[in-house]
Amino acid sequence: MTRFQPDRGLTGRMVVTMFLLGLLYVAFVAVLIALGAQAITVMVIAVGFLLVQYFLSDRIALFAMHGREVSPQEAPELHGVIDRLSALADMPKPRVAIAESDVPNAFATGRNQKNAVVCVTTGLLRRLDRAELEGVLSHELSHVAHRDVAVMTIASFLGVLAGLITRFTLYSGLGRSRNNNQGPPIGLIILLVSGLVYAVSFLLTRLLSRYRELAADRAGALLTGQPSALASALTKVSGEIARIPTSDLRESQAFNAFFFVPALSGASIATLFATHPPLQRRLEQLARISAELGQR
């Protein structure tokens, strides 16, 4: 338990999402086995990749984002802010990392509070003042406290897992039926089932992702008591990202679901497929929290 405000809505959504994804992948593996794939092979691949992602998610994310852990001597101000927020939230201090990127952003990852890491880009550190930085980091720490980081890590990887299992099954010949002259093409069936699994996983993770961002904004603002600082950071980061070359943003786009603000967003992306709620909705929520805190 931490001092971050609990969110039953987020907890309920995480449980439902993982339950539905679990059912989906049991059905997916069952279809592969029914089509001729060896059960042990399929399970080894599925469990192996999932364990790697779960236990090494923090290292994988840092490597992909060119981030590195920094000591208090290397980044005293950043460590100072995280020290203060961790003490305020009564939670273990996560590892601290910095990614060399002009794209202003931050993310948290790790399977639990004791193995979490919070990473910020050099672009974010250059653009935000201390109060705004506290707002962003309180948002990221709330992801760790609510445990939605671990859930999103597992949920987002399941879609990738479907593709990996499908490719392995097709290219290794494990999906061939005992009689290749009867029935529809096995490869086509596997591709269709895999596509359906990926599509459902995609929608479920997007729905969860949008709600968890609102929950993190709310919890972070209530912890610091400064929703206006978080709103200022949101506005500033969103505006600055719009000025970053699209080619640079595409390099970070794969991590949108974990970022404070998505690298690429806008009206061109349907709301149904967005990883984050609209900026205006986030600002309106923070304005309501600010009004509530002012009335106390």
Residues 45, 50: Cα–Cα separation, whole Å: 8
Cα–Cα–Cα angle for 23, 29, 34, rounded to 5 degrees: 120
Average pLDDT over residues 72-77: 95
Instruction: Using a cut of 0.75, tell me whether the model's pTM lies above it.
Output: yes
Mean pLDDT comparison of 60-64, 193-197, 211-215, 267-271, highest-scoring range: 211-215
Average pLDDT over residues 217-235: 95
Give residue 235's Cα distance to chain centre.
Answer: 21
What is the pLDDT at residue 270? 55
Catalytic residue among 132, 134, 140, 240: 140
Who's near 142: CB < 8 A, 6+ residues apart? 4, 215, 216, 219, 220, 223
Please give the helix or strand (H or E) that residue 67 lies within, else none: strand 67-69
The 117-121 sheet, strands edge to edge: 67-69, 95-99, 117-121, 106-109
Q: Is 140 a catalytic residue?
A: yes
Residue with more model confidence, 225 or 254: 225
Length of the chain: 296
Residue with more model confidence, 101 or 137: 137
Which has the minimum average pLDDT: 43-57, 106-120, 136-150, 173-187? 173-187
Residue with more model confidence, 245 or 177: 245
- Check pLDDT > 60 for residue 295: no
What's the pLDDT band for 267 if we cut at 50, 70, 90? Answer: very low
